[in-house]
Every structure is written in structure tokens, then in C-alpha cells.
Structure 1
Amino acid sequence: MIKHFKRLLHIWLRKKLLQILEPVVFECEEITEIKEDAPDE
């Protein structure tokens, strides 16, 4: 039972983490794309 609970907790934490990280990663990717589009000095 404890093992099962730990697994559920792990899955839940990963989902939460993804929800938090997704927008951050998305913004970072947009920033790098803008940098790549800029001409090199």
C-alpha cells in the first residue's frame, strides 16, 4: 500500500513539475529563437 502511494505521489509530483516548468521552458525557447534570428555582430 505504501509503495503504491509513493508511486502515485511520484507521478503527481512529476505532473505538477511539468505544469510549472512547461511555460518556463516555452519562454526560454522563444528567447533563444529570437537570439538566433538576430544577426551576428
Structure 2
Amino acid sequence: MTNNLRVIQHAWHFWFGLSLVIKVVKLSVVVACFTP
């Protein structure tokens, strides 16, 4: 039970970090598009 919870927590942290990276990449692409 405890081990399973740890795996779920690890997966949540992984997806949270991944979505954060995607947001940063999207933001940098938008800035690059609007910057001459």
C-alpha cells in the first residue's frame, strides 16, 4: 500500500514537472514569435 502510494506520488511529480516544462517552452516560443 505504502509503496503504491509512493509510485503514484512520483508519477504526479513527474507529470507536474513535465507540464511546467511544456508551459515554459510554449511561452518562449510565443516570445520568440513576437520579438523582432
Query: What TM-score bracket applies, with the shorter chain setting the length?
Result: 0.5 to 0.7
Tell me the number of residue pairs that the alignment of Structure 1 and Structure 2 aligns.
30
| Percent identity between the two aligned chains | 10
Structure 1: unaligned runs, 5 residues or longer: 35-41
Structure showing greater radius of gyration is 1
TM-score, structure 2 length as denominator? 0.60
Deviating 4+ runs (over 4 angstroms): none
TM-score, normalised to structure 1, is 0.54
